[in-house]
Structure 1
Amino acid sequence: MTDELNRSAMERARARSETMGKRVMVAGATGYLGKFAVKAFKQAGYQVRVLTRSKERLYDVGPFTAPALTDDDMDEVFVGEITQPETLAGLMDGVDLVFSCVGISRQRDGLTFEQVDYQCNKNLIELGESAGVSCFTYVSMQGAENIMDLAIVQAHEKVVAALQHASMEYRVVRPCGYFSDMGVLYDMARKGRVYLVGDGLNQMSPVHGQDLAEACVQISEGSELEVEVGGPETMTQREAAELAFDVAGKPVKLTIIPMWLARWLVKVIALMSAQFGDLAEFIVTAGEIDGVGPPHGAMTLRAYFEDMHSSQESL
């Protein structure tokens, strides 16, 4: 029944799309970047098909100021499970562009980076090839070549390699970090103390989800195969934490976790959960390397923290 409803909705949308532009299929639409991407592609004139395993979550406000989606943001909603390709029959019908930001963030389902970040995207690549999709845009990460020993990075770059050998055109977006990650700093500052891994002096230029989503649309339509995307500011983690305290109206209280202790904690976490051990290892590594890229967008970190402050004060 679900397949019949999906096909019926797609047939109606295909008739409309003949005069309304290209169709994009967005995977990862319930995540931080995904919600902004759906809106950005729609605003750019695309017919937007959204893949989700939970239609209800599309309409929920996401974490760290990610917006709720509305029916006006989407032309079609396809309910399916990427880990089960048999549920995706017809997903790519009539699709010109696939946009995927699928990956593990804070899931608690026990799946690994190999199973989600790689295999789910590999399933989408194979479906796109079979359906004759023209282009596939994938969101990986900046600086991957320097941290290839990490499981999350290996999974991302296996997807890039699969795209390089696919029959479709491809584009790879490499963000230097997300404002949603900075939102964790604000949450800690609001509670009175921020914990930093390492000395906090590494340089970074994270980008807001809306600015990144708009860059993803531009990159999808451009000719560069791989593009790094940073935000409009460069700062250290320590400076970002101090800014979070300032916006929260709290005195600066930083606790520095030495790198040797952080790496020991990673080993302990890995004994309890391979998934969270891999994620913890990535977080620790991010605390000692720089992540700076070409500036995009206009949203500053202060403005983002102020948005978080206003939304939490209104609760």
Structure 2
Amino acid sequence: MTLLVVGATGTLGRQIVRRGLDQGHAVTCLVRSLRKATFLREWGATLVQGDLCQPDTLGTALEGVTTLIDAATTRPTDSRSIKAVDWQGKLNLINASKAAGVEHYLFFSIMGSELYPHVPLMDIKNCTEQFLAESGLPYTILRPCGFFQGLIGQYAIPILENQAVWVMGEATAIAYMDTQDVARFAIAGVDRPDILGRTFDLAGPKSWSPEQIIALCERLSGQQAKITRMPIGLLRTARNITQFFEWGWNIADRLAFTEVISSGKALDASMDEVYAAFGLDSQETLTLEAYMQDYFNRILRKLKELDYEKNKQKKKSRKRSPFKSAP
């Protein structure tokens, strides 16, 4: 079996590659920049250069591929639009996969994408799901709703650095998952033909509101958060302004996603049947408490080490001071 991972350098994609290699699969990665993907080659993956937005570059990467895992998406720092990558790019990839005879196309969407037709990324994900289902390709769709990793920059780091933590509107409770656990589902699905033609929501053990995450971070860090509440109306105004300018289209599309995370509609799902379908044990799924505990333990230990080294250097400087009078 030849496994191709698209979006392999991303937060989720790299975990899929790592998991696939650890499970003994031969993994090939479609990447735009070979230089930025060097670490994947060092892990043991094969790199093929290609670009979703340039369909003529996809054929070589798809030669002999039996299973494709599509975890690619635009990043906030990407110069290209959501429509260019997550819609036109995916159409290019799906069409090229069908022409190449790919036997299983595993696509990552977002939970609840059909509920937000006015949010560009959600609407595009939903339309891509429909296009894939009608393409004739054997497929599986996985729909996570959020990753633990994104909570570090949003909550943990601002609290540690005594910076403001932003909370918006009637915040949505979200059942986040660790990307390593999401990767477990992707790789487990590679060898399970019974999941073909099906869509699965992926949710963590518990849904968390921003206030609950903040309280957890405060307890584990021993520091109090500075909470700043952002009115959703202000973000809507900012979106309306930026979408009038070409340079602001990507920003406007990103701001639109705040409608999802401030809607008050929980993003969660029952997982009993999903674990059974993929042959996985729910007890092995990491909890947010355990993930954050490990993060803060490592960070606080490092801060103590840095403080110790700083104090040691200060003591050495005092001993060597040329301004001290001789006895």
TM-score interval (norm. to shorter): 0.7 to 0.9
- The offset of 1:307, in angstroms, is 4.0
1:144 aligns with 2:113: yes
- The offset of 1:99, in angstroms, is 0.5
- Report matched runs for 1:64-79 at 5 Å: 69=40, 71-74=42-45, 76-79=46-49
- The offset of 1:175, in angstroms, is 0.3
Q: Deviations over 1:285-310 (max 9, x none)?
A: 21223111235552222332344435
Q: Is the 8 A contact 2:207 2:267 kept in 1?
A: no
User: Kindly tell me: are residues 26 and 149 of structure 1, through their superposed partners in 2, closer, same or farther at Cα, counting changes over 3 Å?
Assistant: same
- Report matched runs for 1:184-203 at 5 Å: 184-192=154-162, 193-200=164-171, 202-203=172-173
User: Match of 1:28?
Assistant: 7
Could you tell me how far apart the structure 2 residues matched to 1:88 and 1:135 are?
16
Larger Rg: 2
Q: Which runs of 5+ in 1 are unaligned?
A: 1-21, 60-67
Higher mean displacement: 87-96 or 29-38: 87-96
Identity of aligned residues (%): 22
Could you tell me how far apart the structure 2 residues matched to 1:271 and 1:312 are?
42
- Report matched runs for 1:156-167 at 5 Å: 156-167=125-136
Q: Deviations over 1:137-173 (max 9, x none)?
A: 0000101121122111121122212211223200000
User: Match of 2:287?
Assistant: 300
Runs of 4+ residues deviating >6 angstroms = none
- Report matched runs for 1:1-315 at 5 Å: 22-59=1-38, 69=40, 71-74=42-45, 76-109=46-79, 111-183=80-152, 184-192=154-162, 193-200=164-171, 202-222=172-192, 223-224=194-195, 225-271=198-244, 273-288=248-263, 289-295=265-271, 297-309=284-296, 312=299, 314=302
Could you tell me how far apart the structure 2 residues matched to 1:84 and 1:234 are?
39
Secondary structure class of the residue paired with 2:60 = coil
User: Kindly tell me: are residues 73 and 284 of structure 1, through their superposed partners in 2, closer, same or farther at Cα, counting changes over 3 Å?
Assistant: farther
Q: Which amino acid aligns with 2:13?
A: G
Q: Is the 8 A contact 2:41 2:47 kept in 1?
A: no
Query: Given the two structures, how large is their TM-score scaled by the length of structure 1?
Result: 0.83
User: Kindly tell me: are residues 276 and 312 of structure 1, through their superposed partners in 2, closer, same or farther at Cα, counting changes over 3 Å?
Assistant: farther
Secondary structure class of the residue paired with 2:184 = helix
Secondary structure class of the residue paired with 1:82 = coil
- The offset of 1:33, in angstroms, is 0.3
Q: Is the 8 A contact 1:140 1:174 kept in 2?
A: yes
Secondary structure class of the residue paired with 2:61 = coil
Q: State the number of aligned residues.
A: 283
Query: Given the two structures, how large is their TM-score scaled by the length of structure 2?
Result: 0.80
Q: Is the 8 A contact 2:146 2:174 kept in 1?
A: yes
Q: Deviations over 1:13-52 (max 9, x none)?
A: xxxxxxxxx1110000010000001112222332111011
Could you tell me how far apart the structure 2 residues matched to 1:70 and 1:233 are?
36
Secondary structure class of the residue paired with 1:118 = helix
Could you tell me how far apart the structure 2 residues matched to 1:259 and 1:283 are?
8
